[in-house]
Chain A
Amino acid sequence: MDESVSHNLLPHLFRLEYTKLTAVICRQFGFKYIEIAEDIASDTFLKAYETWMINGIPENPTAWLYVVAKNKTKDHFKRLAIFENQVQDIVMSDESVAQEELALDEKTISDSQLAMIFSVCNPANSTEGQICLALQVLCGFSVEEIANAFLTKQETIKKRLLRARASLRTDNFRIEPLNKDEVTSRLDTVLKTLYLLFNEGYFSKNKSQFIREELCSEAIRLTLILAENPDTNLPQTNALLSLMCFQSSRLEARVDKDGAAVLFDEQNKDLWDKALTEKGNYYLVNAFKGGHISKYHLEASIAYWHTTPNDENKWKYILQLYNELILIEYSPVTALNRAFAYAKVYGHDKAIREVEKLSLIDNGFYHGLLGYLYASIDIEIALNHYKQAVALTKSKTDKQVLQRKIERLRFRNDV
């Protein structure tokens, strides 16, 4: 087989089709069969690898995979039925299953993926558990890849997955026929998991740009599945998708070649992805077609204003959006971002008073912001805050960025 085929096509196909196959089999036969579904999907790929190695890649690799998966599923449940009829002599309700043909049309696949998303995002699991499970079951990541993305030990990931999978089996969540009440009640959790999955990529401590992009694009792919289904295509889904598009458009510009964060003002705007910005606009308009305003609406709107670098009023709007956001949900990050917007509108003097009220004295970003605000007012105080920021920051590259600021300030002080 062609070198490039084994290295490029198969992993890509595997990612995408493995999760689809698993989802379809699970949906048809129930989540208690998830391990069997995964085995069938893996076997299918093993067979593909062996066959294609000898005969070359078929014209339509996806269709080829589906035929093999269908047959393997049929075989499996036939064996199961024979076992239950003849060996166990007990006719279980699953017997009927053997006659069922695995349907692999587009509609079934997308419905099954939707069901899988809703099953994985189970509020009974911890958020870390949900994200790990999403990466494994929905995105086809291996334990090693998940551990690598989270910079965590494989053992930890395995434990998280074990717990999460146990509740997946017992939960046996089904959306066939799509139950509106259940969809509505769980959609918030689903969106939150996808939001966190995206943020894992966007704010990842992992230096590899490739891994970051991979996590972000997987989150977008899954959110798109929700947006394409009429029952889940709601304002908040569109708002989240819009937010992801806006953020992704800056993915390349916000990190330098050493993996250090590039501040917004210093980003090379030519690196922003225009196509993604336009998609962000499109979904944001859709998001405001309903009455409900979620935190994703606010975050997407803030991200929208950041794509308009030259609008003189933008910081006024951004500050009001942060006001709304912090009223919905407090977080230190939002409080500090709001304070930064406040400084842009009302100046550093007033903003310092606003920031000092936050008293987040254990937060490196808090001191970093105060250092920035004091720099034009009192260099000694600014230096003091920057030093505390360095002491509180764990990331090596961020420490270096702060250190450079300290040196620049000292230089200014000497001159």
Chain B
Amino acid sequence: MKEFALIFRNSLNPAVQPSPEQMQQVLTEWMNWLGGIAAQNKLVDRGNRLSISQSKTVRPDNVVTDGPYTELKEFINGYSIIKATDLDEAVAMAKGCPALTIGGNVEVRALVASEDTN
């Protein structure tokens, strides 16, 4: 078993304002999806969601800008760590992520162990 980070990205589209019911629906599906991974004993760390309002980007020469997304169309809004036998299995698990249904995407990245030079 190897560990993989699933990095969730959302597109920034201010025009789309989901209703509370839609939010609830996505949240339910998200918990079903994550719970399904945990039920296989393949969730290492449910991770965290990352705040948008409480965020700054620090750049060289003492430049600090608001938010993570001034130059990006999409932003990271969270991550979880799972375990899988290989990258293919990790990708298959990521395919169930509800982020995909609301214009987001999931980046799957193997964690690099210290002895791993690849």
Binding site for B on A (CB under 8 A): 316, 319-320, 322-324, 326-327, 330, 334-335, 338-339, 342, 354, 357-359
Across the interface, do B31 and A320 meet the contact criterion of CB distance under 8 Å? Answer: yes
| A354 CB contacts on chain B under 8 angstroms | 36, 39
CB interface residues, B 40-58, toward A, < 8 Å: 40-41, 43, 46
Q: Judging by beta carbons under 8 Å apart, are A323 and B31 in contact?
A: yes
Q: Contact between A326 and B31 (Cβ–Cβ < 8 Å)?
A: no
Given the complex, which residues of B lie within 8 Å of A342, measured CB to CB? 32
A338 close to B41 (CB less than 8 A)? no
Ordered by A's residue number, 30 sampled pairs between the chains whose C-beta atoms are within 8 Å are A319-B32, A319-B35, A320-B28, A320-B31, A322-B35, A323-B31, A323-B32, A323-B34, A323-B35, A323-B38, A324-B31, A324-B35, A326-B38, A327-B38, A327-B46, A330-B38, A330-B41, A330-B43, A335-B39, A335-B40, A335-B41, A338-B35, A338-B39, A342-B32, A354-B36, A354-B39, A357-B39, A358-B39, A358-B40, A359-B40
Complexed CA–CA distance, A187 and B39 (Å):
27
Q: Which residues of B contact A357 (CB under 8 A)?
A: 36, 39-40
Q: Which secondary structure dominates chain B's binding surface?
A: helix
Q: How far is the CB of A332 from chain B (nearest CB, A)?
A: 8
C-alpha gap A357/B39 in the complex (Å): 9
Which among A326, A354, A357 has the greatest number of chain B C-beta atoms within 10 A?
A326
**Chain A residues closer than 8 Å to B40, beta-carbon distance:** 335, 357-359
Residues facing A in B16-42 (CB within 8 A) are 28, 31-32, 34-36, 38-41
Which chain A positions have C-beta within 8 A of B32? 319, 323, 342
As a 0/1 sequence over residues 78 to 104 of chain B, the CB contacts with chain A under 8 angstroms (1 = contact) are 000000000000000000000000000
Known A326-B38, A357-B36, A357-B39; 16 more pairs at CB < 8 Å: A316-B28, A320-B31, A323-B31, A323-B32, A323-B34, A323-B35, A324-B31, A326-B35, A327-B46, A330-B38, A330-B39, A335-B41, A354-B39, A357-B40, A358-B39, A358-B40
CB closest chain-A residue, reference B41 = A330
Name A354's closest neighbour in chain B (CB-CB).
B36
Closest to B28 in A: A320
In the complex, what residues of A have CB within 8 A of residue B41's CB? 330, 335
Bound complex: CA A316 to CA B35 (Å):
14
**Smallest beta-carbon distance A309→chain B, Å:** 23
A319 to B33, CA, bound (A): 12
Bound CA–CA A319/B28 (angstroms): 10
Specify the chain B residue showing the minimal Cβ separation from A331: B41
- Give complex CA distance A327, B45 in Å: 9
Q: What is the bound-complex CA distance between A354 and B32, given in angstroms?
A: 10
Q: Which residues of A contact B39 (CB under 8 A)?
A: 326, 330, 334-335, 338-339, 354, 357-358
Which has the most chain A C-beta neighbours within 10 Å: B34, B35, B41, B46?
B35
Give, as a whole number of angstroms, the nearest-CB distance from B31 to chain A. 4
Complex A-B, nearest 9 residue pairs according to Cβ-Cβ distance, in ascending order: A323-B35, A335-B39, A323-B31, A326-B38, A330-B41, A327-B38, A326-B39, A327-B46, A326-B35
Q: Which residues of B contact A359 (CB under 8 A)?
A: 40
Which B residues are in CB contact (< 8 Å) with A335? Answer: 39-41
Please give, as numbers and ranges, the residues of chain B lying within 8 Å of A339 by CB-CB distance.
39
Complex alpha-carbon distance, A359 and B40, angstroms: 8
CB distance from B1 to the nearest CB of A (A): 14
> Which residues of A sit under 8 angstroms from B34, Cβ to Cβ?
323, 327
Alpha-carbon gap, A13 to B46, bound state (A): 50
Closest to A355 in B: B39
In the bound complex, residues from chain A placing their C-beta under 8 Å from that of B35 are 319, 322-324, 326-327, 338
